[in-house]
Structure 1
Amino acid sequence: MKDVILVVSDTESLYQTMLASAQDAGYQVMLVHTFPDANRVISTALPLILVMEPFVSGIPTVSFIRYLRSWRRTKALRVIVVSTTTSDHDCVEALDAGADDHIMVPFSASELLSRVRSVTRVLPPPSALRTWPVTFGSVTLDRISRRVISRADGKEIEIRLGPIGFELLHFFLSRPETLFARDEILRAVWRGDTSLSSQNVAVQISLIRAEMRRCAANVAIESVKRQGYRMVTLSGNH
């Protein structure tokens, strides 16, 4: 289902909000009301993207996102969570679970479609076309298995990332010790989408850092004031 947006919502309001604009833009929009129904659709053919609310039938959406990220078939499926509240908690929880983006009310159908285009346009940088694993320090990223592993103290721990975080980490691991400005990162990983800002880069880097700390990786994405970011080895862990 190449151009299908699958909406998962208890009600039809989100579906109706984006239906006309999405169809005008060339997308097909499908609506399901439960996660089992969404899973049945996905098991038949993968949609372009899922658009979901924070809770569906009283079940946290983050649980379904984690389920999707745990399977190889759906590990890279794009997900946007639409929050009906203005709480930052929903945003942080969704992104931490592996969502690619989060949008809060109020928003227009055109803004939501812009986010859909942004997320689905995230492509590997040219160097990512190679398929063999990339390693820097204790971290190895494998594009074929879509896994990132940190090897520390004789243990292997998986670094859990959503599709955008995966591509962003690959960008840095492929170019260690190289300083990149935020707009360079946006151009390379998000293909220069003008609807995005440096905050999108900062949020994804924050999620990557949290995972790498959890896994005791000996490398990190370093911030350089007013200049950008680079991947470095941590002091004392060479």
Structure 2
Amino acid sequence: MQISVLIVEDEPAIIELLAANLKHAGMHPLPARDVTVASALIAEVLPDLIVLDWMLPGVSGLQFMRQLRADFRTRDVPVIMLTARDEEQDRVDGLEAGADDYLAKPFSPKELVARIKAVLRRRAPQLTDDAVTIGRLTLDPATRRLFVKDDDAELLVHLGPTEFKLLHFFMTHPERVHSRTLVLDQVWGDHVFIEERTIDVHIKRLRAALKPVGYDAIIETVRGSGYRLSREPQPRRMEKAA
């Protein structure tokens, strides 16, 4: 899944430089010259991360940062602030307003890309290609494969694209109870309009795919709240082929 990065910056040369480096890193840049354009883009599709300049025409980046954190829809979107202001109090103000990281100008585009990846690993691990292991299950987003360790062998578990994304999200956020609305936003995107009960269908398919390897109970239903993945599942005995 390609990571979308909203760049809110009023200097065309910097936007062009950042966009080129993000594309080279396999990300999808969304340029915005001011807060008005940025807000319109966010209203259409929520980005995975925002690179936000402090000094913007009209509404400042710091003001916009506070607006983002006050809005239920955008409060959890990771934000890296870019600014020529490098005094200690400026860094404190940016971080206290809700920024996840702070990079002073002039900066290295390669360092920014590295910081974007670091923030995503911390805040949105389901967007990275890092393999994740829970129990005997290992999910590898880079190869789109799920393996289960059986004695000295690794068996491949076949999942549909949506079930793979669901399991990836759950495995990167274990032991937390996730509402259907949250799962819908994180896996399908908040711009996609489908019935919440559709999630139940895909959960059922995921459990069916995991049943032969004894992990169908790893996704627990929390009545009235949603779903949870257990970090320490107690797998059943694997089904043996006839």
TM-score (norm 1): 0.51
> What is aligned with 2:8?
8
Higher relative contact order (CA 8 A, sep 6+): 1
Q: Secondary structure at the match of 2:82?
A: strand
> What is aligned with 1:32?
32
Q: Any unmatched runs of 5+ in structure 2?
A: 126-131, 133-170, 183-242
> What is aligned with 1:231?
none
The structural deviation recorded for 1:117 is 0.6
1:130 is aligned to 2:155: no
Give the distance between the partners of 1:80 and 1:131, measured in 2 at CA: 26
String of CA shifts for 1:27-80, please: whole Å, max 9, x gaps.
Answer: 121211121211111111111211111121043212111111112211111111
Give the distance between the partners of 1:89 and 1:65, measured in 2 at CA: 16
> What is aligned with 1:173?
none
1:23 is aligned to 2:23: yes
Q: Is the 8 A contact 1:50 1:79 kept in 2?
A: yes
Q: Is the 8 A contact 1:15 1:29 kept in 2?
A: no
> What is aligned with 1:79?
79
Q: Any unmatched runs of 5+ in structure 1?
A: 133-142, 147-238
Give the distance between the partners of 2:66 and 2:2, measured in 1 at CA: 23
TM-score (norm 2): 0.50
Give the distance between the partners of 2:91 and 2:79, measured in 1 at CA: 13
Q: Secondary structure at the match of 2:47?
A: coil
Change (3 A) 1:88 1:34: same
1:104-119 pair list within 5 angstroms: 104-119=104-119
Aligned AA for 2:114?
S
Change (3 A) 1:23 1:127: closer
Give the distance between the partners of 2:174 and 2:73, measured in 1 at CA: 19
Q: Is the 8 A contact 2:21 2:110 kept in 1?
A: yes
Give the distance between the partners of 1:16 and 1:74, measured in 2 at CA: 25
Cα RMSD for the two superposed structures: 2.6
Q: Is the 8 A contact 1:80 1:100 kept in 2?
A: yes
Aligned residues: 136
Give the distance between the partners of 1:113 and 1:16, measured in 2 at CA: 14
Change (3 A) 1:127 1:14: closer
Give the distance between the partners of 1:76 and 1:68, measured in 2 at CA: 9
Give the distance between the partners of 1:6 and 1:113, measured in 2 at CA: 13
Give the distance between the partners of 2:172 and 2:107, measured in 1 at CA: 36
Larger Rg: 2
Aligned AA for 1:17?
L
Percent identity over the alignment is 28
